[in-house]
Amino acid sequence: MTQKEILSHVDHTLLKPYATWDDIQNLCREAVKHKTAAVCIAPNYIKRVRAKFKKKLKICTVVGFPLGFSSKEAKLVEVIQALEDGADEIDMVINISDVKNGDFDKVSQEISLLKNAVDDKILKVIIETCYLNEDEKIKLCEIIKKLGVHYIKTSTGFGTAGAVMEDILLFKKHIGKDVKIKAAGGIKTREDMEAFLKAGCDRIGTSWAVKNLKME
């Protein structure tokens, strides 16, 4: 797998709370130069990035990030604003406490609400695997599959652990053929990126791809 092929699956990410406008512009220039799948940035920078870079890149942003426990109504407002500002893709964090409480109807309602709001844009559902047991992960795969969401995503990168291969393999067993997988959190090396892509991931969320891949 070439560097170019790997980068075409990367959401080039910068979600540090102290990221400056200069940092964001540099991220975007790298994304344009190396043709990454998208940039993943905080909502407050969407409008400025869209104004400066126009349609040269895809903008992904986050909603309910990173803890997921805001109300579905609050997340809906975030989605609407992000789309108005120019986002192409939304990575939402589910309400993890609802999962731990077994309130899967609430989880399903929230995802459905945001999926409808996203309309023809892309929605990725972050389930934060580090806090879940296997049964909970499987149940979420079933919900996401039933709702026809575009992607299931492993992690925020802010939890106690990030993407692990066993979760990708579990997803593959239960997510169906139409839902894609995004691995994120702790993915830094070329070997990691290539392994996750070969295992069936369509996207990799990382801030390390351009830095750690020696460009051809």
Query: What amino acid positions are annotated as catalytic residues?
Result: 91, 153, 182
Measure CA of the first residue to CA of the last residue in the chain; give whole Å: 12
- In DSSP terms, 152 is beta-bridged to 125, 181
Q: Is 88 helix (H, G, I), strand (E, B) or coil?
A: coil
What 3-state class would DSSP assign to 84? helix
* Cα–Cα distance, 64 to 92 (Å, whole number): 6
List b or e across 50-63, with b for residues whose CB sees 16 or more CB atoms inside 10 angstroms.
Answer: beebeeebbbbbbb
